[in-house]
Chains A and B, each alone.
Chain A
Amino acid sequence: DSGVTQTPKHLITATGQRVTLRCSPRSGDLSVYWYQQSLDQGLQFLIHYYNGEERAKGNILERFSAQQFPDLHSELNLSSLELGDSALYFCASSSGAEDEQYFGPGTRLTVT
């Protein structure tokens, strides 16, 4: 157990809908990262927050957004969902901005 929690474990929704994925980092970790893992694109970095502020963006679509709250938990919002958004979404946390990342168990999103 990495100490990173993600909810929900599974999510099934329809195209065009909006969902929110939640991540609680390990106790004391200030950095939260979001990744998407799909069959055709592999594991891709989406976005990184450090202590509430966005630090880096990767291949994140404009339909996706994230935030990190004062209690350091983070949410990833996915809107106008398409079939191709079906994937595993992982959150990782680290103590600083350059430290080892610990991954959560992921949220499996299925868009039908």
Chain B
Amino acid sequence: GESVGLHLPTLSVQEGDNSIINCAYSNSASDYFIWYKQESGKGPQFIIDIRSNMDKRQGQRVTVLLNKTVKHLSLQIAATQPGDSAVYFCAENMGTGFQKLVFGTGTRLLVSP
């Protein structure tokens, strides 16, 4: 079943394109950020994280960019595939010494073959 609301911003791309998903976070003191992927009917799945002492981190086909000046986070997916179709959430950690995650509203990524 569907796991998120019906009014999410949606990004539609063609297979093979690069995708960029953006997120604004709220707390300038947050020091840890995570991107999650949620496929229909499943729980969120960790993609990549970044700490506030970095401005860029790369994984396999994914890159996260952090701009602390404007409290902005982005997720770049290279060579997007149909299997990347999902809802993507950013999360910021509001806790110290433990994780207390606050999630963004999410962006739905639709990849056409």
Contacts and interface: CB of A to CB of B under 8 A. Distances in A.
Interface of A: 2, 4, 31, 33, 37, 39-40, 42-45, 48, 50, 55-56, 58, 88, 90, 92, 94, 97-106, 108
Contacts of A106: 3, 42-43
A50 to B, nearest CB: 7
Nearest to A108: B1
A39 B106 CA distance: 12
Contacts of B42: 105-106
Contacts of A39: 4-6
Nearest to B95: A56
A103 B34 CA distance: 14
Interface residues of B, number: 26
B50 to A, nearest CB: 13
B45 interface: yes
Given A100-B46, A106-B43, A108-B1, A58 B103 contact: no
A88 B4 CA distance: 9
Interface string B74-113: 0000000000000001000001011111111110000000
Interface of B: 1, 3-6, 34, 36, 41-46, 49, 89, 95, 97-106
A39 B1 CA distance: 12
Which of A37, A48, A100, A105 is most buried by chain B, counting CB atoms within 10 A of its CB? A37
Contacts of A88: 3
B44 A43 contact: yes
B4 A37 contact: yes
A101 to B, nearest CB: 7
A15 B68 CA distance: 45
A48 B98 contact: yes
B37 to A, nearest CB: 11
A44 B101 CA distance: 8
B101 to A, nearest CB: 6
